[in-house]
Chains A and B, each alone.
Chain A
Amino acid sequence: GAVVSQHPSWVICKSGTSVKIECRSLDFQATTMFWYRQFPKQSLMLMATSNEGSKATYEQGVEKDKFLINHASLTLSTLTVTSAHPEDSSFYICSARRIVLANYGYTFGSGTRLTVV
């Protein structure tokens, strides 16, 4: 149980275009999902918290107009990288939160490798 599906696995896009990444919780409902960014050989950095039915909460330094997050249902959150530039190339990972052992547990998607050319 507790599967999070993320698509696409990889994408190459041209500078100036927009890319949408989907994150779905397949067998549980997730009122809260999270989006992370990971540069090569580095750790995961939280970009934003996606809340079902309300606006996302962005971490300091993350441009909300560039990284649009929508959480329209209890099983789907999307991240749209708008007007992508080469410096946006990175590995993006989503996670969904659920209750585990009377506390919160986090399950991660398989990630999306974005290359902007």
Chain B
Amino acid sequence: GIQVEQSPPDLILQEGANSTLRCNFSDSVNNLQWFHQNPWGQLINLFYIPSGTKQNGRLSATTVATERYSLLYISSSQTTDSGVYFCAVLNDYKLSFGAGTTVTVRA
């Protein structure tokens, strides 16, 4: 099956800092989603982004499908941004998840 790799595995930020999370995938995909899992386990969809760039507030994402990677940018990080960020790719009809990046934002 398709392989999804995320980096870095862990990220510690000072409040107000910017960061970039990366997702590499091994094959062409129909779609790609970024999720934030909060401490209670709820997965919140951040972006549907099979290609191109999208922005939503302090978050933005870019997917370069031809080079098989996607980036998630967090600007001016806040403590509420803490949690695990997952990239998931859609191949055929199934979502395959990366291992996630655990982000800790310190006040």
On whether A111 and B30 interact (CB within 8 A), knowing A43-B98, A100-B48, A106-B95, the answer reads: no
Q: Are B99 and A91 in contact (CB under 8 A)?
A: no
When the two chains form their complex, are residues A43 and B97 in contact, meaning their CB atoms are under 8 A apart? yes
Question: Judging by beta carbons under 8 Å apart, are B43 and A93 in contact?
Answer: yes
Chain B interface bracket (under 10, 10 to 19, 20 to 34, 35 or more): 20 to 34
Known: A100-B48, A110-B41. A105 touches B31 (CB 8 A): yes
List B contacts of A95 (CB < 8 A): 95
- Mask, B75-95, CB within 8 Å of A = 1, is 000000000001010100111
| Chain A interface mostly | strand
- Tell me whether B56 is interfacial, beta carbon within 8 Å: no
B37 to chain A, nearest CB (A): 9
Chain B residues near A93: list those with CB within 8 A: 41, 43
Q: A110: which B residues are within 8 A, CB to CB?
A: 40-42
A95 to B86, CA, bound (A): 15
Chain A interface (Cβ < 8 Å from any Cβ of B):
32, 34, 38, 42-46, 49, 91, 93, 95, 97, 100-101, 103-108, 110-111, 113
Residue pairs across A and B with Cβ atoms less than 8 A apart, 26 shown, are A32-B93, A34-B94, A38-B41, A43-B98, A44-B86, A44-B88, A45-B97, A46-B94, A46-B96, A49-B93, A93-B41, A101-B48, A103-B48, A103-B50, A103-B90, A105-B31, A105-B33, A105-B45, A105-B48, A106-B88, A106-B90, A107-B45, A108-B43, A108-B45, A110-B41, A111-B41
User: B residues engaging A (CB < 8 A)?
Assistant: 30-31, 33, 35, 40-43, 45, 48, 50, 86, 88, 90, 93-100
